[in-house]
Amino acid sequence: MTFTWWCIIGGAVFITMALSGSILKRLPLTTALVYLGVGFALSVSGSGILQLDLFANVALLEHLAEVAVLIALFSVGLKIRIPLNSNHWWIPVRLAFGSMLITVGLITLVGVLFLKLPIGAAVLLGGILAPTDPALASDVQVEDPTDRDRLRFGLTGEAGLNDSTAFPFVLLGLGLLGLHNLGDWGWQWLAIDVLWGILAGLLTGALLGSLIGRLVVFLRREYKEAVGLDEFLTLGLVALSYGAAVLIHAYGFLAVFAAGLALRQVEVKNAGDQPHEKLREIAKVGKDVEVATHPEHAPAYLAQAILGFNEQLERIAEVAVVILIGGILATTPLPLEVLWFAPLLFFIIRPVSVEIGLIKTSTRTVQRYLTDWFGIRGVSSLYYLMYAIEQGLEPGLARQMAGLTLWVVALSIIVHGISVTPLMKFYERQQRKVKIRVAKPSSSSR
């Protein structure tokens, strides 16, 4: 597809979504579902506008998906304003580590027994499909930085963490296929790919996010400097965190998430536990320079400005990648195994892993059930697939993995996209009823 057609299609999609955004919010549709349909329609129309060969464009698709995930992860980190010592973190940590491990194990079992995959390929498939997507799951994530809802926070934190906790299993699968060095008895995989990769990624992002956030706030408060160009600060921190982590063989995805989280924590420590409405007012009151350099308001302004810009970037990246996924689907045959494997993943594997992961937590029944369901697969799975193919997967196996992954992602976008609006409206009604029941005893006691 030529650059001219990219401009025409991109412009038409952006304008259409801007004009119809409020309508879509009332319909059982997500923007990702619309983008997927656009990409598929352009590819099957026979016009030649969107003709993509996945295997001829592996590097391009890998980098596009990588950028989209990085932007989404930074947004996820910025959205979370809950202090790191809060017990709310127990839920996403258990989902991202415990439930993730169970999911990979169950997919591996299914892959070996029923898909007849080699053990390495089955583990690889588990690593590709286990993580939930930070870009496409925005409709079920926290609605504002002060949102403490256990369902939304759990899904948000899980999406931020498990895009990196899945990487060790992708590397383990590649190692079992002879495409990655695991070391004798797997010592290198455990020491470097698991322990070092995760811990160093978290520390790198947290250090850079905290240092840069503190430096900018200090310069603005004390010297009225480093004001404006928050867009450059956003892109710089994402790129620096990712590059620094990869340079030391740590997980860049985790570093970018931690950088966004650390930057928000700088604001939390300075502004305290203020309601979201107050933070938004702070970001809008007065001229930008006045608010940005205000002794009290500077941290909140910085966090809100960066989050606003990054969310716009996230939407643009989502458009590009999901349209491409739709275009690739038109040239990727639907494997018959997907017809039973996708329902198995959505209705059994995900719920079982979540229920086990959330044993003895304070989540209510409706919160657990919705967490079971909203394991949305998307752009991160595309990235891991492209990464694995780039490492030299055997062509026949690569095509099998591509068919399974792409169609599972497409079905996830469709079924979760259709169900998200009615289910979340139902959940909000349930939450209001709970608040009323809680409020009644206190009011009657007066």
pLDDT tens-digit readout, 273-331: 555 555 555 555 444 666 666 666 677 777 777 888 888 888 888 888 998 899 898 88
Structure tokens at 83: 């202090």
Lowest-confidence range among 17-26, 28-37, 47-56? Answer: 17-26
Task: State the pLDDT at residue 58.
Answer: 93
How far is 2 from 423, CA to CA, in rounded Å?
A: 40
Summarize the confidence of residues 181-190 as an average pLDDT. Answer: 94
Task: State the pLDDT at residue 402.
Answer: 96
Mean pLDDT of the residues in the chain:
86
Summarize the confidence of residues 91-116 as an average pLDDT. Answer: 96
Structure tokens at 108: 């591996």
CB 317 within 8 A of CB 72: yes
Smallest CA-to-CA distance from 226 within 212, 240, 208 is with 212
CB 133 within 8 A of CB 379: yes
Give per-residue pLDDT as tens, 246-266: 999 999 999 999 999 999 888
* Percent of the chain whose pLDDT exceeds 70: 88
Task: State the pLDDT at residue 285.
Answer: 45
* 272 has pLDDT over 90: no
- 144: exposed, middle or buried (C-beta count within 10 Å: 0-12, 13-18, 19+)? middle
How far is 289 from 389, CA to CA, in rounded Å?
A: 48
How far is 45 from 404, CA to CA, in rounded Å?
A: 24
Topology (CATH) of 52-444: Na+/H+ antiporter like fold (1.20.1530)
* Cβ atoms within 10 Å of 172's Cβ, excluding its own: 24
CB 275 within 8 A of CB 284: no
Lowest-confidence range among 121-135, 216-230, 385-399? Answer: 216-230
DSSP codes, 199-259 = HHHHHHHHHHHHHHHHHHHHHHHHHS-S-S-HHHHHHHHHHHHHHHHHHTTS-HHHHHHHH
Distances (CA, A) of 17 to 31, 141, 318: 8, 20, 13
Give per-residue pLDDT as tens, 401-442: 999 999 999 999 999 988 988 898 899 888 888 777 766 665
* Residue tagged 């016009």 (tokens): 47
How far is 1 from 13, CA to CA, in rounded Å?
A: 16
Structure tokens at 21: 């955004």
Half-sphere exposure of 381 (CA within 13 A, CB side): 28
Confidence of residue 84 (pLDDT cuts 50, 70, 90): confident
Task: State the pLDDT at residue 286.
Answer: 45
How far is 299 from 213, CA to CA, in rounded Å?
A: 8
Phi-psi region of 422 (alpha: psi -120 to 50; beta: other; left: phi over 0): alpha
CB 78 within 8 A of CB 279: no
* Residue tagged 């009615």 (tokens): 422
Locate the domains of the chain by residue range: 52-444
Half-sphere exposure of 37 (CA within 13 A, CB side): 9
Give per-residue pLDDT as tens, 119-137: 999 999 999 999 998 777 6
CB 403 within 8 A of CB 334: yes
* 69 has pLDDT over 90: yes
Task: State the pLDDT at residue 349.
Answer: 97
Residue 161 φ/ψ, nearest 5 degrees: -90, -40
How far is 404 from 402, CA to CA, in rounded Å?
A: 6
Summarize the confidence of residues 151-177 as an average pLDDT. Answer: 92
Summarize the confidence of residues 339-367 as an average pLDDT. Answer: 94
Task: State the pLDDT at residue 348.
Answer: 97
How far is 273 from 118, CA to CA, in rounded Å?
A: 51
CB 1 within 8 A of CB 50: yes
